[in-house]
Amino acid sequence: MALKSSPLVQGVLTPKVVGALLVGLLLGTLVFGVVLPSSARGAASSGAYQRPYPLPHQYWARTDEFYVFASGGQQGGLYVYGVPSMKYLSEIPIFNPDQAWGWTPEEPKVRKMLTNPWTEEVVTRGDTHHPSLSRTNGVYDGRWLFINDKLHPRIARVDLDTFRTGQILWLPNGNGGDHGLSVSPNSDLLVQNFEHEQVPDPAITQHLGLTVDLLKGPYVGAFSGVNIASDGAMSNAWQVWGPWGFDMVRIGWGKSDGWIVSTSYNTERALSAVPMFARDHDYAFFWNIASIRKAVADGKYVTTKQAPDVPVVSWKDVEVYVTPIPLNPHGIDISPTGKYVMTSGKATTLVVAIDFEKTLEAIQNKRFIGDDFGIPILDPDAVRAATMDLGMGPTHIEFDNQGYAYVGFFVDSDIKKVPLGEPYTRLHNKEPWKVVDVLPAHFSVGHLLVPGGDTAQPYGKYVISMNKLTKDTFLPHGPLESENHELYNIEQVPAQLIDQMPLGPETHYSQAIPASLVAPRVKTTYTEARAVAAEKPRVEYDYAAREVRVHMTVVRSFFTPDAFTVPEGWKVKTRLVSQETAMDISHGFALDGYNLSVSLDPGEVKDVEWVADKPGVHWFYCIWFCSELHMEMRGRAIVVPQADWTPDKETHLAS
């Protein structure tokens, strides 16, 4: 059945308006460049943000209130910085090797994580988008951060005690194009949307009752449910497939507990950009989690050859509803009590607040205006709290602790602050859904964040705008410019722009967590090396396997052994054991003339495998300036030509 026109949608979105908006959207980024940046409102700092002089030791460690974990996009991992200092702290490599931060596939543990379990390909390109910090009772708990790769079907867990990737889970049945990711209020479930439509295993399309043509489409989409165990271990739980690709997602809490909300901008099932705007609306989806689990329990699923243990459920067998959202909705975000679900038509000026309590009532009273692929369409009049006309290119929304929503506008290059309706009016005493402040950004807001702004208890105080363009904000640095993260104090109106920071490409979503939840957990050394400390340094030759195993201890300023021989062509398995117990004393193992460089944190044990295919003397050396004897901290790997090798050339250490 076709969708009956909703006055809410149709009133504003005449075809002419839609056309104008589309042109505006496409041209917007070009046009606004001509308009000079708005006056630097609030550029002067108030006392609270002035620095003392001279700076006392640990000033930044003591004054920063939040860590920000910013997805790196095509950088493949995360950037980490402090707030309000906007001081860059580190990077966390995930899907892309990064020798600076000691993340390279020479290390078997890393290589295993990066290896596609089905094709056995080591995949070293990634595109991180949506970090989601672990939570307990809907509030960040500081244990882990989960994040997706948009390029490949995989998600990672970062452990916040080491700031390192602890697990990469590959999701079956898809080729990639994974977008929204969300973690449940008690971190036991994670949902990953497949944005790009796929041609899956025929078992799936057959189960869906849809036909898919490889050349002509239309294709189908899905989302993956992932269980998270109490120790953070992720495992594939189930998948739900449907006629569309799904974009952004949140797992609800509070009033929306037990539901997954998501968007799709391509309910046209189109295969190219312009036809994806054919409808004047797409949908927000409401998925009942219990109904998915019930479908699995009732055996209403299929499995595939690739993943015989992952139930694939059809959208037809679960409880799901949609409601129309104007023209290509993208972000979907939930207010702190779980009551309001806010989303917006990317290619419109309209921001929609859905009241989840009204939605549940509307479901009960069957306030449907039709169906699409059998999914009941909820009457917008029955579920909406407000439809706001706020500006060009609304994209993402976050919430503070005072009852306000912050909506980022890509085309307008600003953030609008809007008071929420009940039960928040007693916090702000404002007429709801009317803009109370506009924060100018430089330029083109992608995501934005309020610390805790996607949880049951936002911390408020700041907004960070993650701008896609920096243009002339900083010194020119080539045609490829960095991103601009802008920090605003939102405790005052108008909000005060406190700082701006260039950050490498290309941030999508970021989250900020109180320093007090993370800093006390952070290890200064690893303790693994203590366990293997009893093992003596040694070199073993395995003629059957054509393998040399080197067990090497590393401490300022010595490698032990500092010389060993290898027959040409043999594999060398090198185990590096750092015996450092001092904070911040890292070493490394880089080998002259080989594509090999690894970093070793204090107390860390790392395995490195390489093939000794270049005869001659190759010095290995430490890559970190670890002491005044750093440069002397080196040793020799002597690769003996095949023809010259005799067992008496073996290295044996005096015991």
Residues lying near ligand RUQ in the complex (CB under 6 A) are found at 129-130, 179, 330, 395-396, 446-447, 508-509
Residue 152 interacting entry, from ligand CUA, ligand RUQ, Ca ion, none, C-beta within 5 to 8 Å by type: none
The yes or no reply on residue 197 touching Ca ion (CB under 5 A) is no
SS3 9: helix
Nearer of residues 240 and 332 to ligand RUQ, judged by Cβ: 332
- The residue count for the chain: 655
Nearer of residues 446 and 537 to ligand RUQ, judged by Cβ: 446
The C-alpha atoms of residue 563 and residue 558 are separated, in whole angstroms, by: 11
The yes or no reply on residue 247 touching Ca ion (CB under 5 A) is no
Nearer of residues 265 and 409 to Ca ion, judged by Cβ: 265
Nearer of residues 95 and 559 to ligand CUA, judged by Cβ: 559
Residue 630 interacting entry, from Ca ion, ligand RUQ, ligand CUA, none, C-beta within 5 to 8 Å by type: ligand CUA
Neighbours of 237 (CB within 10 A): 19
The residue ranges of DSSP E strands in 431-482, in sequence order, are 437-440, 445-449, 462-467
**Interface residue with Ca ion, options 328, 348, 511, 553 (CB under 5 A):** 328
Nearer of residues 503 and 612 to ligand RUQ, judged by Cβ: 503
Q: How far is the CB of 585 from ligand CUA (least distance, A)?
A: 8
Q: How far apart are the first and last CA of the chain?
A: 83
* Closest listed residue to residue 311, CA positions, set 248, 251, 222: 222
* Closest listed residue to residue 105, CA positions, set 118, 89, 116: 116
Q: What are phi and psi of 527, to 5 degrees?
A: -115, 0
| Total chain residues near Ca ion (CB under 5 A) | 4
Nearer of residues 237 and 284 to ligand RUQ, judged by Cβ: 284
Q: How far is the CB of 160 from ligand CUA (least distance, A)?
A: 27
Give residue number: closest CB to Ca ion.
282
The C-alpha atoms of residue 498 and residue 65 are separated, in whole angstroms, by: 15
Q: Which helix (H) or strand (E) holds 547?
A: strand 547-555
Q: How far is the CB of 509 from ligand RUQ (least distance, A)?
A: 5
Nearer of residues 361 and 632 to ligand CUA, judged by Cβ: 632
Q: How far is the CB of 178 from ligand RUQ (least distance, A)?
A: 10
Beta strands across the sheet bearing 462-467 = 445-449, 462-467, 483-489, 496-503
Nearer of residues 107 and 580 to ligand CUA, judged by Cβ: 580
The C-alpha atoms of residue 237 and residue 255 are separated, in whole angstroms, by: 25
Nearer of residues 325 and 513 to Ca ion, judged by Cβ: 325
Residue 282 interacting entry, from Ca ion, ligand RUQ, ligand CUA, none, C-beta within 5 to 8 Å by type: Ca ion
Residue 164 interacting entry, from Ca ion, ligand RUQ, ligand CUA, none, C-beta within 5 to 8 Å by type: none
The yes or no reply on residue 343 touching Ca ion (CB under 5 A) is no
Q: Which residues contact 217 (CB under 8 A, 6 or more apart)?
A: 197, 269, 271
Q: How far is CA 258 from the centre of its chain?
A: 23
Q: How far is the CB of 143 from ligand RUQ (least distance, A)?
A: 23
Residue 626 interacting entry, from ligand CUA, ligand RUQ, Ca ion, none, C-beta within 5 to 8 Å by type: ligand CUA
Q: How far is the CB of 70 from ligand CUA (least distance, A)?
A: 30
Q: How far is the CB of 127 from ligand RUQ (least distance, A)?
A: 9
The yes or no reply on residue 282 touching Ca ion (CB under 5 A) is yes
Which residues pair with residue 92 across a beta bridge? 78
By CB under 5 A, which span of 107-115, 312-320, 323-331, 576-584 interacts with Ca ion?
Answer: 323-331
Nearer of residues 226 and 622 to ligand CUA, judged by Cβ: 622
Q: How far is the CB of 625 from ligand CUA (least distance, A)?
A: 6
Q: How far is CA 507 from the centre of its chain?
A: 9
The C-alpha atoms of residue 284 and residue 293 are separated, in whole angstroms, by: 21
Q: How far is the CB of 606 from ligand CUA (least distance, A)?
A: 14
Residue 509 interacting entry, from Ca ion, ligand CUA, ligand RUQ, none, C-beta within 5 to 8 Å by type: ligand RUQ
The C-alpha atoms of residue 111 and residue 302 are separated, in whole angstroms, by: 31
Residues that bind ligand CUA in the complex, under the rule CB under 6 A: 587, 622, 624-626, 630, 633
Say which amino acid occupies 568. E
| CB distance 156 to 147 below 8 Å | yes
In degrees to the nearest 10, what's the CA dihedral of 554, 558, 559, 560?
Answer: -100
Q: How far is the CB of 594 from ligand CUA (least distance, A)?
A: 18
Q: How far is the CB of 362 from Ca ion (least distance, A)?
A: 23
The C-alpha atoms of residue 453 and residue 465 are separated, in whole angstroms, by: 13
Residue 330 interacting entry, from Ca ion, ligand CUA, ligand RUQ, none, C-beta within 5 to 8 Å by type: ligand RUQ
Residue 129 interacting entry, from Ca ion, ligand RUQ, ligand CUA, none, C-beta within 5 to 8 Å by type: ligand RUQ
The residue ranges of DSSP E strands in 102-219, in sequence order, are 132-136, 139-149, 154-159, 164-170, 178-183, 189-198
Residue 130 interacting entry, from ligand CUA, Ca ion, ligand RUQ, none, C-beta within 5 to 8 Å by type: ligand RUQ
Q: How far is the CB of 254 from Ca ion (least distance, A)?
A: 30
* HSE toward the beta carbon, residue 130, CA cutoff 13 A: 27
Q: How far is CA 496 from the centre of its chain?
A: 28
Residue 530 corresponds to which tokens in the numbers above?
């203590």
The yes or no reply on residue 280 touching Ca ion (CB under 5 A) is no
Q: What are phi and psi of 526, to 5 degrees?
A: -85, 160
If phi > 0 it is left, if psi is from -120 to 50 it is alpha, else beta; for residue 255 that is: alpha
Please report, as ranges, the residues that interact with Ca ion according to CB under 5 A: 265, 276, 282, 328
